[in-house]
């Protein structure tokens, strides 16, 4: 699991840079200001969580189910959150908004919140373990 977390973190980070540049240059002419802001939100959240995944991959051994669930919440959460935003903004800019993606975004956000809660619990276990 540790390797998967590090690899996905690297992939998400790479995609953030690519999509951020794509949004800043190619999509500026195609998207409205609000669509561009939404797209950028998806990119930012993906980068934040790419960094969190890499830090988690370095910090945790992923021997407990709590650590594994945390990682899956981040991995699936950002997939649902960011990619649904990309789909919504892209389809809206093309005049054919895919409405089914709307409820997926908050589901991804909920998984990210759960991931952060589990991260806090996992970090507190480390702190309790190393403090006498």
Distance from the Cα of residue 95 to its chain's centroid: 26
The pLDDT tens digits of the residues spanning 4-63 come to: 999 999 999 999 999 999 888 888 888 989 999 999 999 999 999 999 999 999 999 999
The pTM of this model reads 0.90
Give residues with Cβ within 8 angstroms of 41, minimum separation 6. 85
| Average confidence (pLDDT) over 85-101 | 89
The span from the CA of 55 to the CA of 47, in Å, is: 12
pLDDT at 117 over 90: yes
73-98 as b/e, with b when 16 or more CB fall inside 10 Å? bbbebbbbbbbbbbbbbbebbeeeee
Q: Per-residue pLDDT tens for 50-62?
A: 999 999 999 999 9
> Within a 10 A sphere around the Cβ of 38, how many other Cβ atoms?
18
- Structure confidence at residue 28 (pLDDT): 83
At 51, which CATH number? 1.20.120
The boundaries of the domain holding residue 73 are 2-130
Counting the structural domains of the chain, the total is: 1
């Amino acid at each position: 699991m540790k390797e998967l977390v590090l690899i996905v973190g690297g992939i998400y980070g790479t995609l953030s840079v690519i999509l951020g540049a794509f949004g800043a240059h190619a999509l500026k002419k195609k998207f409205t200001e609000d669509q561009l802001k939404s797209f950028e939100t998806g990119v930012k959240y993906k980068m934040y969580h790419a960094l969190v995944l890499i830090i988690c991959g370095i910090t945790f051994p992923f021997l407990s189910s709590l650590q594994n669930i945390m990682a899956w919440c981040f991995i699936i959460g950002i997939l649902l959150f960011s990619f649904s935003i990309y789909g919504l903004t892209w389809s809206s800019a093309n005049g054919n908004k895919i409405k089914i993606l709307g409820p997926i975004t908050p589901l991804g956000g909920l998984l990210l919140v759960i991931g952060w809660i589990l991260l806090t619990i996992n970090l507190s276990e480390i702190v309790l373990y190393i403090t006498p």
